[in-house]
Amino acid sequence: MRVTSWYLTTHFQRSHGGYKGDFDEFFDRFLTGRTPSGSWFRHVSEWTQNRAGIKRLILHYEDLKSDLEGTVRRIADFCEVPLTSSKLALTLELSSFKVMKQHEEKFDFIHEVLRERGFVFGSFIREGTVDAWKSHLSKEQELLFHRAMSQFPTLVSR
């Protein structure tokens, strides 16, 4: 768990937050609960104590790796979802490391956060044409833009 937590935390913090520490530093922070997500020990302890008495299924990554089909069947039974042989085959295929790696953006939680905030993926790179802005601005907006831009002579280089 320490290495997984290190990877997930530092991957996110490096890619989205500029984290620069090494594993030794992270390990110390992990042991003392000084990570962005707090104490892993406290988190897991609260789930295993199940004070709220909620129905839950605790799985281990090692179970998925050693017996993916059996674990998927356990999950389906727990969720009371009928599992036909075709659904099982599709689930096993879509749960493979290869497929998950190919679609990593669906598993990186920052994408979910962005999606929840209304970000539309595939919208950053728009049209790939020159002067496309002309179809989006009114004549008045175009004039206002040029007036504002004229206040910054270094921007008007053409």
Say how far residue 102 (Cα) sits from the centre of its chain: 14
pTM, two decimals, is 0.56
Q: pLDDT value at position 37?
A: 75
* Number of domains into which the chain is organized: 3
62 shares a domain with 49: no
Q: pLDDT value at position 10?
A: 54
- φ, ψ at 131 (rounded to 5°): 65, 25
24 shares a domain with 47: yes
Q: pLDDT value at position 58?
A: 86
Largest CA distance in the chain: 69
- Residue at 100 is within a domain: no
46 shares a domain with 83: no
Is there a contact between 86 and 94 (Cβ–Cβ < 8 Å)?
no
Q: pLDDT value at position 122?
A: 64
Is there a contact between 10 and 21 (Cβ–Cβ < 8 Å)?
yes
Ordered per-residue pLDDT tens for the chain, 158 residues: 444 554 555 555 555 455 677 767 777 777 788 877 788 778 878 877 878 888 989 888 888 889 999 999 999 999 999 999 999 999 999 988 888 888 877 777 777 777 777 777 766 556 666 677 777 778 888 888 778 777 776 665 54
153 shares a domain with 116: yes
- Residue at 150 is within a domain: yes
Q: pLDDT value at position 83?
A: 95
- Residue at 99 is within a domain: no
Structural domain range at position 154: 107-158
- Residue at 101 is within a domain: no
Is there a contact between 103 and 95 (Cβ–Cβ < 8 Å)?
no
88 shares a domain with 40: no
Domain end marker among 43, 73, 94: 94
47 shares a domain with 3: yes
- Residue at 142 is within a domain: yes
Exposure of 26 by Cβ count < 10 A (0-12 exposed, 13-18 middle, 19+ buried)? buried
61 shares a domain with 34: no
